């Protein structure tokens, strides 16, 4: 058993479990709760599963069972030393491995950012096994092309003398207003667990290596897309054109006073939306 990075994580998710992902990479994942409502939560770029801790208190453990993996290359998952080991195919196969290891059916998929792209692909692959789909500031199935200035800004976080400040800057970009120092201190350790290869590889994936819009018509699960009022990149118009408009019966909802880290800056509001949406689907069955 690998050492767990955070004692605080243990009090929420418990000890990491492991699934064998693509290329025999060990994918760490965590289970919270033991309730009948099963959910799979996938985090995104420059974060780890511990970032979900802000929403967890709003999901009673006797009502929910939440499974949340660390992406390969960060936190307690293996970190292949090859940028080519971080393609979208690798990331989706890893997530499938966790789902199959836990043997879950009739569950809700939830993903943030790059995790939102993974969740869309999973929903298109798993069909009726996914009963509802929640996308929080998701990367669309076409990826998010960035110009050279934005690419240079993001890749300051890759390695070297700019690594810490570069990754901190990315966190600040996703925050509405000035990020409090205590929040940066809480989020930055997860970002710093990313290896250089993972950081560059996953960045290249969500900007250049995601392309499956033709699969979105396969999604049968009721879908809600949650956006931040002050989202700097994944704006409402962009989401409507690239996500909501391509998924049957998908709906969009804006959360005020937040940017990209909707599930952290407005954790209670986001959790309430998610719980209400999931309960509404259950009531229709």
Picking from 45, 56, 46, 44, the residue whose alpha carbon sits closest to that of residue 9 is: 56
Q: For residues 251 and 223, is the Cβ–Cβ distance under 8 A?
A: yes
Picking from 113, 136, 96, the residue whose alpha carbon sits closest to that of residue 224 is: 136
10, two tokens: 């243990």
Question: Domain range for residue 215?
Answer: 7-284
Q: Is residue 267 part of a domain?
A: yes
Cβ neighbour number for residue 209 with a 10 Å cutoff: 18
Give the model's pLDDT for residue 14: 79
Give the model's pLDDT for residue 216: 98
Mean pLDDT, rounded, for 216-239: 97
In the 8-state DSSP scheme, what is residue 85? G
Measured between alpha carbons, how far is 64 from 123 in angstroms, rounded to an integer? 20
The count of domains in the chain is: 1
First CA to last CA across the chain, in angstroms? 40
Task: Give the DSSP letter string of 25-77.
Answer: -EEEEEEE---SEEEEEE--TT--GGGGGGTGGGS-TTTEEEEEEPPTTSTTS
Report the mean per-residue pLDDT for the chain.
Answer: 94
In the 8-state DSSP scheme, what is residue 157? T
Measured between alpha carbons, how far is 177 from 185 in angstroms, rounded to an integer? 16
Give the model's pLDDT for residue 5: 45
Give the model's pLDDT for residue 281: 84
Is the pLDDT at 4 greater than 70? The verdict is no
Is the pLDDT at 8 greater than 80? The verdict is no
pLDDT in tens, 131-140: 999 999 999 9
Is the pLDDT at 182 greater than 50? The verdict is yes
Give the model's pLDDT for residue 285: 62
Is the pLDDT at 11 greater than 60? The verdict is no
Q: Report pTM.
A: 0.95
With pLDDT > 70 as the criterion, what percentage of the chain qualifies?
95
Is the pLDDT at 9 greater than 70? The verdict is no
Q: Is residue 161 part of a domain?
A: yes
CA 61 distance to own-chain centroid: 21
Q: Is residue 1 part of a domain?
A: no
| C-beta contacts of 20-24 below 8 A and 24+ residues apart | 20/97, 20/101, 21/72, 21/90, 21/93, 21/94, 21/97, 21/98, 22/89, 22/90, 22/93, 22/94, 22/97, 23/80, 23/85, 23/90
Mean pLDDT, rounded, for 268-281: 96
Is the pLDDT at 62 greater than 50? The verdict is yes
pLDDT in tens, 188-203: 999 999 999 999 999 9
Give the model's pLDDT for residue 39: 98
In the 8-state DSSP scheme, what is residue 140? P
Q: Is residue 183 part of a domain?
A: yes
Measured between alpha carbons, how far is 77 from 128 in angstroms, rounded to an integer? 29
Measured between alpha carbons, how far is 51 from 44 in angstroms, rounded to an integer? 10
Give the model's pLDDT for residue 88: 98
Mean pLDDT, rounded, for 36-57: 96
Picking from 272, 253, 9, the residue whose alpha carbon sits closest to that of residue 138 is: 253
Looking up residue 177, the CATH number of its domain turns out to be: 3.40.50.1820
């Amino acid at each position: 058993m690998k050492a767990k990075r955070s004692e605080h994580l243990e009090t929420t998710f418990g000890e990491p479990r492991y699934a064998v992902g693509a290329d025999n990479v060990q994918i760490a994942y965590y289970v919270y709760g033991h309730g009948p409502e099963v959910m799979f939560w996938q985090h995104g770029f420059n974060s780890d599963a511990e970032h979900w801790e802000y929403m967890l208190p709003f999901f009673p453990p006797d009502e929910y069972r939440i499974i949340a993996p660390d992406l390969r290359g960060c936190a307690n998952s293996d970190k292949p030393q090859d940028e080519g080991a971080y393609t979208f195919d690798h990331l989706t196969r890893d997530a499938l491995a966790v789902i199959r290891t836990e043997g879950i059916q009739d569950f809700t998929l939830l993903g943030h950012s790059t995790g939102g792209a993974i969740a869309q692909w999973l929903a298109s692959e798993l069909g009726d096994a996914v009963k509802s789909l929640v996308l929080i500031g998701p990367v669309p199935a076409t990826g998010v092309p960035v110009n050279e200035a934005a690419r240079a800004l993001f890749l300051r976080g890759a390695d070297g003398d700019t690594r810490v400040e570069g990754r901190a800057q990315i966190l600040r970009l996703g925050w509405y207003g000035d990020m409090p120092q205590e929040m940066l201190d809480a989020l930055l350790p997860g970002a710093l667990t990313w290896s250089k290869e993972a950081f560059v590889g996953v960045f290249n994936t969500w900007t250049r290596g995601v392309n499956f819009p033709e699969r979105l018509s396969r999604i049968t699960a009721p879908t809600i897309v949650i956006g931040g009022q002050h989202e700097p990149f994944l704006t409402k118009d962009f989401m409507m054109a690239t996500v909501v408009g391509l998924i049957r019966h998908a709906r969009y909802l804006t959360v005020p006073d937040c940017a990209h880290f909707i599930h952290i800056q407005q954790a209670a509001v986001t959790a309430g939306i998610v719980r209400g949406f999931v309960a509404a689907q259950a009531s229709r069955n």
